[in-house]
Chains A and B, each alone.
Chain A
């Protein structure tokens, strides 16, 4: 998994390439912990995300909770397979997917 960060003022865009699973999720979690401070707009670009498991969902949920306090969070370029997982788990209701 590769994480690409892009910061513009207080807007952070994170593009993930590859698999977000039990092994890689902690990497994204620590990345977020380090860079979310002071951010008001968080965007995940999932164009190249191939795979997400419950460990990945857990990181997204905690990011959403953090951003609820300090700004907004949205997901862009979500593929059909990933969207299915969000639907099944009810995450589609709590995440902003564009």
Chain B
């Protein structure tokens, strides 16, 4: 992870860089200024010295000076008069140069160009050691080459020179004339020390002042940027941060108040920042509208999808879903599946016992898909079941008449032109007679006389298509081992990616290879379809129903109908024991069955009916015989509150005595000691069946 860099304000950055460049400019300016000042000082000093040298040259008398020069050079002996004159002149000159602070000395020289020497006539140097008259030195040492050409010709321009005593000095020399001839020069020198010092001090002061100004300026700049750049940006940042909070925290705010963090901004800088703020305001408004729209759409979608999955659940629960559905019936095996293509489908299957001996089977397909199909499916399912039940109650076993009546009921108010194809069969369980009628549905596949074939009887018209349609009953007598497979077009019209249909031939082929076990048969058919279709999407609901007829019951059952009261336990056990003893049940098994019967009976007696009311429980005892074994099958049927004891979790039998509860232990003992235990809620009754080999 990269380290988070500390943020620096734009104001600081801008003022720092301003200060930086200001200082650079300042330094350059100071250098230039220093140079200019130095040149200026030099020029001024030079001109001052030239003027002073000229003044001094004017003050001397040529004749007297000529004599003094000759004395100095030793051409002429000194005289009192000449000395007198020199003394007076010295005083005068001293007075003159006193007025110039930096002028250190005035001296008079005679140049001898041949020897390159210069001889002092005299020197006035108030604060130093004066050279004595007649002192000689090299001209070159003092006068640079550039000015030497003027010697003994005219005035020597002021020049720069360095001395041991005074450091840098400006020297100027002016010729002294006698009878138009140059007899010597009046020279002055002036130290630059003070002047340069002044320049240096001046520069330092200016530099300090300007530096201070720069710093002040930097603060001003910083303040300016803070106010005009950083503050507005910070406001925009705050607004952006607030935007989310407001949205999340204040549910009650209406939308305008919710998204107003940018609207509250007051940025009138008249530049890009103002533009930015106004763009953000617009964006906020747009975003607000968008969010509002999105929220509506999303919640709508959410609601739709919730309702759709609810519809899916309701639809799934509409279909009988517990298999085996009638565990106490050994005359047939029944299994059915429905896989909708969308969340809710239009296919359905149904089966129900009409009375003790009649089983109704329905497989149907409503036109269309989705919610409308599901709604129509529910109506169809209910109408078909009700009509079937009421007709059979009246003694008529005619699926055709059921379909006729259901058709006219479904045609009422069917303005959306929905329709449903239905295959309805009613099985007479003891004798295996199956009566069926077909309203535009797929032809069932039948295994009879050890071979598979499609039923080729004529279809009637679909239900809800046209009122007054008539249907025809067909009949087939099932023998033990016969198998009926009914389905919807989702099976035959399952399509692979090459647009090939699964088709009747493949259904038949798969059936011929499948075992005659309802669950395995349907699962095998499904995997055969899946293997054919592969990745292609499922277009239609796939519904299948399988029925294996096993012949009339091998069970011989006796019944005890008794009031569900704990006090009757002894009677119940006496009944069971009598049956078990008749069948020569081993003692240990008898005890296990007794325990199971007690637990189940006490359960019904305690919970099935409310304490003040009483109800009955029907106990059926049967013996089921196989080739080499026989089992006791005991069924408890009560009309109490629907309760499936198998749905309760098993108790934890590994807990210590202190942690143990006693709940669920009875049912657990039954489960453990019996070979099988099944529950069904059928026709308003709880049916619990246990089976134990004896």
Contact = CB atoms under 8 A, between A and B. Distances in A.
Given A61-B660, A68-B657, A94-B660, A22 B569 contact: yes
A51 B668 contact: no
A51 B595 contact: yes
Contacts of B595: 51-53, 85
Given A22-B566, A22-B602, A57 B657 contact: no
A58 B591 CA distance: 18
A20 B668 CA distance: 18
A65 B662 CA distance: 12
A89 B566 contact: no
Interface string B590-615: 01101100110010000000000000
A93 interface: yes
A85 B591 CA distance: 10
Contact of B662 (A22, A51, A52, A61): A61
A46 B501 CA distance: 71
Interface string A37-66: 000000000000011111101100100110
Contacts of A68: 657-658
B99 interface: no
Chain B CB within 10 Å — which of A51, A89, A91 has the most? A89
B266 interface: no
B669 interface: yes
B591 A81 contact: yes
Nearest to B673: A88
Interface string B644-681: 00000000011111101010011011001100000000
B570 interface: yes
Contact of A65 (B570, B592, B598, B658): B658
Contacts of A81: 587-588, 591-592
Contacts of B566: 22-23
A58 B663 CA distance: 9
A96 B335 CA distance: 48
Contacts of B602: 22, 53, 55
Contact of A22 (B592, B598, B669, B672): B598
Interface string B350-381: 00000000000000000000000000000000
Contact of A90 (B591, B653, B666): B653
Nearest to A59: B662
Interface residues of A, number: 25
Contact of B598 (A21, A80, A90): A21
A66 to B, nearest CB: 10
Contact of B569 (A23, A50, A52, A58): A23
Contacts of A94: 656-657, 660
Contacts of B570: 23
A82 to B, nearest CB: 9
A81 B348 CA distance: 49
Specify which of B566, B657, B665, B673 lies most central, judged by the most chain A CB atoms within 10 Å of its CB.
Answer: B657
B690 to A, nearest CB: 15
Nearest to A92: B653
A57 B598 contact: no
Nearest to A67: B657
Contacts of B654: 90, 93
Nearest to A90: B653
A49 B655 CA distance: 26
Given A23-B566, A64-B657, A85 B598 contact: no
Q: State the 10 A-B residue pairs at the shortest beta-carbon distance, nearest first.
A: A90-B653, A54-B666, A94-B657, A58-B662, A88-B672, A64-B657, A22-B602, A54-B665, A53-B598, A81-B591
30 contacts: A22-B566, A22-B569, A23-B566, A51-B591, A52-B595, A53-B595, A53-B598, A53-B599, A53-B669, A54-B599, A54-B662, A54-B669, A55-B666, A57-B662, A58-B662, A58-B665, A61-B660, A64-B657, A65-B658, A68-B657, A81-B591, A81-B592, A88-B669, A88-B672, A89-B668, A90-B654, A91-B653, A93-B653, A94-B656, A94-B657
Given A88-B653, A94-B656, 13 more contacts: A21-B569, A22-B566, A53-B666, A54-B665, A54-B666, A57-B662, A81-B591, A85-B669, A88-B672, A89-B653, A89-B668, A90-B653, A90-B654
Interface of B: 566-567, 569-570, 587-588, 591-592, 594-595, 598-599, 602, 653-658, 660, 662, 665-666, 668-669, 672-673
